[in-house]
Chain A
Amino acid sequence: MPVFRIFLLVGLLLLQLPALAEPEIKIPDPSRVVVIVNRDSNDIAFLDMDRNELVGRVYLGKNVNPHMAMMSRDGRWVVTGGTRANKAYIIDVATLTLVKEIPVDFAPEHLAFSPDGRYYYQGNPDGDSVSVIDMATFTEIRRIRGFAEPLNITFTPDGTKAYVANYGAHWVGVVDVRRHELVKKIHVGEVPAIARLDPDRYLGEIRGISNATITPDGRYLYAADGDLGLVAVIDTREDRVVRRIRVGADPWRAYMKPDGRYAVVVNNGDETVSFIDTRRNEVVATFEAGPDMIGVDFAAGKAYVISSSSSFLYVFDMTRLKPVGRIKIGDNLQLETATTDVAGHRIYLAVSTNHSIYVVDALTDTVTRIPHVGLYPWGTSVLDSKNNYCH
């Protein structure tokens, strides 16, 4: 009975296929890796935190230029936006495979996961939109429009709302996460009437809000506005500004100390750093720092301010609120952003010009270089770190 034999043979072959195709697990514990975005080699690399060695990388394609990468809260996926490919990418962390490319809007950069991990919001600054990616189906289920250069997205801890910072405007957008709709625009401050006499400054280029930083309890947001030189404190229950705090010139954004006690604002217009006491909502110290500050990481009771073009980390004691010195990373380097491990002891700093990650031990302020992580590392992130952010 040749037909029966043929079917039997085919059946046996089909049963073997899953075993033959089963992928190798490359990352058994996603909480022990640092995710590295390599902008020019167009890949996402993974660094083992215990051995300080690369364990793998996922190539995204030519001319993708990924910007920011984050791991989903369950540690299963890494997502990133390809700024020049106008796509979102989903990577399987365990097997380090690219599982999906999702067309989004123009120049995707920063992103955020909803607290339940069901969605991630991809900001598309050049498209003035936010793409809603469903993590169950890996599809863009909605594209929310109406923003002005949306840079960063912040979810409330209960996941009902998301706040979108607009660098091209002076308002923070409120998104209803259940309906994925922009429902409100919170006006953060007035441009002074005397601005009419200064068209070069106010019409030439707009420096609005790059991020609305949330307190750990989700009660307040701190939104720094570059042109207005202030930080607006927004009550998330009422979605209104309850206080405006003047800081230095051209503040980039506020970085929240993990316990929520202080917000540190970097002011690139006058190269100072302002420390806001969140209980009194006022500036309690302003110190000189360096040029082109793009990040602050909190570790071992200190704040490390990244001055991109000077190659320095400026260090401040967060107990006494005083400067304690600075760490020179190297010569002719451009520092990018950094993250910390969950314990808050080590900082993983991306340095683009020499293709390295620098590990700063915050307990001893010693620095170790890990070279050849990829071309032009742009940022890092760690699962559950309290210091995940991007430029």
Chain B
Amino acid sequence: MWYRVMKPGLGALALWILGCSTAVQAGEALDARLKSLEQRIEELERSTVLSEPQTAVRRIEVYVDENGIEHAEPVPGARRVVTYQRERVYRRQTINEQIEAAIADADSRRVQLGVDAAIVLQSVSQRGGAPAAADGSVYQLASTDLYFTAPLARYTFFFADVVGLSGTPQGSGDDGELAQTNGYGARIVEQNNLSLREAWIRSELWRQRIALVLGRVDLTNYFDANAAANDETSQFLSDALVNNPALGLSENGAGMALTLDTKSAWVLRAGYQQSTRAAGNLSDSLYRLVEVDYRANPFRRGEGNYRFWYRWDNASGTLLNAYGLSFDQKVRPGITLFWRYGSAKAGEGDDRHASAGVQFDNGRGFFPEDAWGLGAAESRFADGGRERLAEAYYNLRIAEKLRLSFHLARLETRASGQAARIFWVPGTRLQASF
């Protein structure tokens, strides 16, 4: 009986408890929702967000059966076909990110232009031997390279280098031996005129193991590339230290360079080039070069590169051969030794050249990105003549695109049967590249 009396009350109580519980839960859910909305408003206020999905085009593989129906997976009778398809992804980007990506994409499709400009100022002071006209003279040479690069296809791009030179470097007339103290002087074709130094197409083949360069080339850019003595724009100025004179290539020309590099210890290179514009065809001035490189890390003290090259040149009417060896070896962080040797047929005998030196960089200068070096070279000619050259330089990195270097070279030349002439050649080089 008491149940019949209490039943309505119990029911009301149960309903009330249920209602309270529901109200509490609804309140908590509302609080959570409000917090979430406040968070989102704060995010929107902080950065403008684009919510529409991004689209991208992808290269995909599909399988097309004999009925022309496309399948995502292989099916019997279907052939694999490569096609392109648009994908839609839900990736949020801010407006800034989208603008940056669009600019970078546009830049990558354009022809890129680069500039490398240098001004070299040198003086000559003679200290021995028969008087030279260059004694006491000051020389200045300004050089500007304009580089153009443009992507053409996958792993293929076009490159051109147009150079203009102005000024009078040393080494004219009877003082011709002084020309080697300024590597820029070797570039002069005609003063104050633009000339096309290089123009070629480069492509990578066979899973990018082979690099092929075809066009108007400077083969010495690809061969005997010594890490410490190869670049007259940032290292030594003297040609005898920047290149191996036994290479014997004085002009750029139409040709080809091929490099097989598997990114392991060995690299093979081969190339040919027309060596003089005076010839009527390539066959009459064919310069060919092959090289083997070996990368080492002796005793795990530092990386080194060891090279052997051999060349043939028929520009003089007879086939003249030469060979060369070189290495550059890091012995401590920031200290690299280099050495070169070359022997070239010259008439009845051989001209022989050797150079060696050391480069300091990677924090071993006054400022972290400075570099300096010491080098010496000697040439003994088939006619009995001899030249000795020593140079020191300090390259100060003023800014990322601007360098100033100081050079001091000593040149001693002795023609066969004559007394030696000795010259001191101090100089500076201001170089900008961007």
Contacts and interface: CB of A to CB of B under 8 A. Distances in A.
A198 B334 contact: no
A194 B367 contact: yes
Contact of A40 (B91, B208, B362, B399): B91
A354 interface: yes
Contacts of B89: 40-41, 375-376
A32 interface: no
A62 B89 CA distance: 10
Query: By DSSP majority rule, is chain B's interface helix, strand, loop, or mixed?
Result: loop
B22 interface: no
Nearest to A290: B263
Interface string B321-335: 000000000101110
Interface in B285-301: 295-297, 300-301
B198 interface: no
B208 A229 contact: no
B59 interface: yes
Contacts of B43: 86, 106
A324 B263 CA distance: 7
Contact of B91 (A65, A192, A230): A65
Given A246-B368, A323-B295, A201 B399 contact: yes
A286 interface: yes
A388 B375 CA distance: 47
B83 to A, nearest CB: 13
Report the contact-size class of chain A (Cβ under 8 Å from the partner): 35 or more
Interface stretch (A168-176, A292-300, A325-333): A325-333
Nearest to A126: B47
A198 B300 contact: no
A286 B154 CA distance: 28
Interface string B388-404: 00000000011110100
B303 A62 contact: no
Interface string B233-258: 00000000000000000000000000
A94 interface: no
A170 B296 CA distance: 35
Given A192-B367, A376-B89, A323 B264 contact: yes
A287 B368 contact: no
A283 B333 contact: yes
B265 interface: yes
A41 B53 CA distance: 11
Contacts of A286: 302-303, 330
Contacts of A322: 264-265, 295-297
Interface in A215-257: 228-230, 245-246
A201 B400 contact: yes
Interface string A309-320: 000101000001
B67 interface: no
B58 interface: yes
Contacts of A106: 43, 46-47
Contact of A194 (B295, B330, B333, B398): B398
Contact of A229 (B302, B303, B330, B368): B368
A280 B335 CA distance: 16
Nearest to B35: A103
Interface residues of B, number: 44
A19 to B, nearest CB: 24
A63 B47 CA distance: 15
B85 interface: no
Interface string A2-34: 110000000000000000000000000000000
Contacts of A288: 263
B207 interface: yes
A200 B302 contact: no
Interface string A266-295: 000000000001000011111110000000
A40 B90 contact: yes
Contacts of B59: 332
A326 B264 CA distance: 8
Contacts of B400: 198, 200-201
A334 B149 CA distance: 23
Given A106-B46, A286-B303, A328-B208, A323 B90 contact: no
Nearest to B207: A328
B399 A326 contact: no
Most interface-central of A41, A84, A86, A229 (chain B CB within 10 A): A84
A39 interface: yes
Interface in A85-122: 86, 103, 106
B79 interface: no
A324 B91 CA distance: 38
A353 interface: yes
B302 to A, nearest CB: 6
B399 A197 contact: yes
Nearest to A333: B59
A200 B51 CA distance: 33
Given A3-B3, A197-B398, A322-B295, A285 B58 contact: no
A3 B9 CA distance: 13
Nearest to A287: B303
B39 A86 contact: yes
B263 A323 contact: yes
A49 interface: no
B404 to A, nearest CB: 11
A42 interface: yes
Contacts of B60: 354
A200 B434 CA distance: 12
Interface string B196-218: 00000000000110000000000
B333 A42 contact: no
A344 to B, nearest CB: 21
A312 B263 CA distance: 11
B193 to A, nearest CB: 33
Contacts of B302: 283-286
A177 interface: no
B363 interface: yes
A144 interface: no
Interface string B297-316: 10011110000000000000
Contact of A287 (B295, B363, B399): B295
A312 B43 CA distance: 38
B92 interface: yes
A353 B58 CA distance: 7
A254 to B, nearest CB: 15
Contact of A321 (B10, B87, B300, B334): B300
Residue from the set B51, B58, B297, B402 with the largest chain A CB neighbour count within 10 Å: B297
B262 interface: yes
The 8 A-B pairs of least Cβ separation, nearest first, read A40-B89, A84-B92, A198-B399, A246-B363, A326-B263, A325-B264, A283-B333, A246-B362
Given A284-B297, A324-B265, 19 more contacts: A3-B10, A40-B89, A40-B90, A41-B89, A63-B91, A65-B92, A86-B43, A103-B39, A194-B397, A197-B399, A198-B400, A201-B399, A229-B368, A230-B363, A282-B332, A284-B300, A326-B262, A332-B154, A375-B87
10 contacts: A84-B49, A192-B368, A200-B400, A201-B400, A283-B302, A284-B297, A284-B302, A285-B297, A285-B302, A312-B208
